[in-house]
Amino acid sequence: MATFIKLAWRNLWRNKRRTIITITAIIFAVLAAVFFQSINRGSYEVMIDRMVSFNTGYIQVQDYRYDDEASLDNSFYYDEELAEKILNADGRIERIVPRIETFMLAANDVSTRGSIVFGVDPEKEHHFNEIKNHLDVGRFFEPGEQATVLGKGLANRLQLSVGDTLALMGQGRFGMSASGLFEIVGLIDHPLRDMNNQAVYLPLDVAQYLLSADDHVTAVLITLQHERLTEPVAASLRTSLENNELVVYTWPELMPEILELMEMDLAMPRFLTVVLYVVIGFGFFGTILTMTMERLREFGVLLSVGMKRALLALVVFIETLFISIIGVLFGIGFAWSILKLIDPITLTGDAAQAVIDLGFEPVLPMSFAPDQFYAQGLYVFLIAMVVFLFPLLKVSRLNILDAARS
C-alpha cells in the first residue's frame, strides 16, 4: 500500500499548476461554505442561548394543563422532595431553577403598563443566566425582601427609577385578588427586548405570597452540561415523572417558531453552498478527466506488464482522495483562522441601529459548531466519489492495444 500511495503522490504533482488550481478551488468552496453558514448560525445561536437562558431553559417541567392554559390555576406544588427527584433523575442535570410567572398590571401613581411578573430565587437565577450582570442601576433583591427589579424599558415607560415604589395589580391563584407595593431596588437592561419592556422580577417567596400560591411554581427550568444532552435527559425525566401530573418539554418544543425561522433563513446559505460545490465539482471532474485521458498510454503499459486493473484504479482513487483531503484541510484551516480573526463583526451606522432597534447588540457573532466544518469534508468526499467513477470506468474498460497506440 505504501508503494501505491507514493506513486499516487508523485503522479499528482506531474502537472503542479493544474493540481494547485483544483486544490485552490476546493479551498475556496470550503472557505465560502463555512463562512456563509457561520455568520448565519452565529446570530441564531446567540438568540437561542438568550431565549433558553432567560425564558425556557434547555428543559422545562410544567403541570400538564399549563401549556394549554398558562394560568396560575395550573401551577404545581414544588418542594425539596420534588427538587431532589428531578435532580436525581439524571446525573447530567447541572441545576434546576423554580419560577412562578404571571401577567399583571404595573403602575405608578398616574399610569399603568402590562407586565410579566417573574418570581425567582435570586441566586439560582443568577447561576442560571447571570442576570445580575445585566443590572444597569441599583442591585438585585434578597430572598424575602419586599422589593422588585424592573426591565429598564418598563421603568422608562412608567417614569420610575431606583428608590421609587411600584404597584402591581392582578389576579392570583383561583381568582383571588393580588396587589402590592414594592420598592424598586434595581433596573435591568434585559438582553431580550420584549422582556426589557415588560419584565418585573420579585423574590420567589414574595411572589408566591402575593399570588396566593404558597409553595407553587408554574415551571422548573433545567440546565445541562451541554445542549446536545437535551433529548436523553428529557427522556430520563419523563420516566422519573411519569406518575405525576407533570410534563417535560425541551426547548425546541417550547420555541418551534424560532427553529422554523432559523431553518428558513439558513436555506439560502445552503442553496449557495450546493451551487458552489456543483461548480467546483465540474472543475474537479475536469482535472481528473484530463489526468485520465493524458495517461491512457501509461495505463496500457502498466496493464500490459501485469498490473491488475483494480490496483491501477486504486492508485487513481488515492490521487483523487489526496486532492480532496488537501483542499478540505486547508479550507477548514483557513476558514477557522479567518473566523477567529474577525469574530465578532461589529456593525456601524444604519445597520447597527437597525439591529439595536430589534433588541440585539450591533455585532455579528461567528458560529464554531463542529458540524459546519466536518460537513464540508463529507461533501467534498462525496464529490470525489462521483468524480472517481469516470477513471474507474475508463480503467475497467480500457483496451490495452488501443491504449498503446494513443
pLDDT at 171 over 80: yes
| pLDDT at 124 > cutoff 80 | yes
pTM recorded for the entire structure: 0.69
- Provide the grid cell at 399: 483496451
Q: Report which of residues 277 and 357 the model is more confident about.
A: 277
Distance CA 248, CA 93 (A): 14
Q: Which range, of 198-212, 296-310, 330-344, averages the lowest pLDDT?
A: 296-310
pLDDT of residue 358: 52
Q: For the CA atoms of 289, 292, 295, 298, what is the dihedral angle to 10 degrees? A: -170
- Residue 200: predicted pLDDT: 94
> What pLDDT is stored for residue 205 in this prediction?
92
State residue 24's pLDDT score.
Answer: 86
Grid look-up 419523563 returns 238
Tell me the pLDDT band of 360, cut-offs 50, 70 and 90: low
pLDDT in tens, 278-318: 887 887 788 788 877 877 777 777 777 777 878 878 878 88
Gyration radius of the chain over CA positions: 31
Lowest average pLDDT, out of 20-24, 125-129, 348-352, goes to 348-352
Residue 338 has pLDDT above 70, yes or no: yes
Residues in the chain: 406
Instruction: Note whether 285 and 323 are within 8 A (CB).
Output: no
Q: How far is CA 219 from the centre of its chain?
A: 23
**Per-residue pLDDT at 350 exceeds 70:** no
Q: How confident is the model at residue 206, as a pLDDT?
A: 93
Average pLDDT, the chain: 83
Q: Are strands 59-63 and 219-224 parallel, antiparallel or unpaired?
A: antiparallel
Mean pLDDT, rounded, for 59-84: 88
